[in-house]
Structure 1
């Protein structure tokens, strides 16, 4: 291993597929207690500015896997379903969640509403 491999320096990591919560919590696990990370935009793209050793491909893949699981659990929690399920099928992470606005549940059908209807 060369001396530059273990040297600490600043670098930008693209944020695609990485949960902010996971990256901020896990960076020191992967890079040691002196590593720092903060959200950072580089050329208009969101990501993280890291000071420490460079993450390996395996470490980035681990962060992505943890991020996917974290987001799945947050989606299930927000939908009000138990996290531990006995169903064989996994819920879709992008499953729509019904939102209540001003005490009313929005109608699931948009076909009956047209913004161009004339008032009588």
Structure 2
């Protein structure tokens, strides 16, 4: 078995929610992870046995699915066509924000102003 190490994992294509919530599933209960920037790039500092390429691919797949589900949840769009399901999900879909009043500010800012 591999030795426990401290290493940086680039964060490209990896959801923070998935990595932080599932690292112990992949590496065992003694593993730890935290967001970390290395040479100006965002990623994760992991203490544990090294992840395999297959495990990293699994984290990326889980991240894509999580981001897709969150995008659907946020937009309330449940009518995804079958052709859209087969293509790569677009996780940066815009999210409509309801505007109130003549100043055209998002409602959440209006409620903060009252305090």
Q: Looking at secondary structure, tell me which structure has more helix per residue.
A: 2
Equivalent runs, 1:59-78 vs 2, <5 Å: 59-78=55-74
| Structure 1 residues 59 and 99, CA gap change in structure 2 (3 angstroms) | same
Match of 1:8 in 2: 4
Which stretch of structure 1 is more off in the superposition, 95-104 or 8-17?
A: 95-104
Match of 2:54 in 1: 58
Name structure 2 gaps, 5 residues minimum.
105-115
Match of 2:112 in 1: none
TM-score by length of 1: 0.73
TM-score by length of 2: 0.76
Following the alignment from structure 2 to structure 1, what is the Cα–Cα distance between the partners of residues 90 and 11? 22
Post-superposition offset of 1:86: 7.2
Post-superposition offset of 1:77: 0.3
Q: Does 1:99 align with 2:93?
A: no
Following the alignment from structure 1 to structure 2, what is the Cα–Cα distance between the partners of residues 19 and 30? 15
Match of 2:77 in 1: 81
Structure 1 residue runs of 4+, over 4 Å off?
none
Match of 2:20 in 1: 24
Name structure 1 gaps, 5 residues minimum.
107-120
| Structure 1 residues 78 and 103, CA gap change in structure 2 (3 angstroms) | farther
Post-superposition offset of 1:103: 5.4
Following the alignment from structure 1 to structure 2, what is the Cα–Cα distance between the partners of residues 103 and 6? 61
Structure possessing the higher radius of gyration over alpha carbons? 1
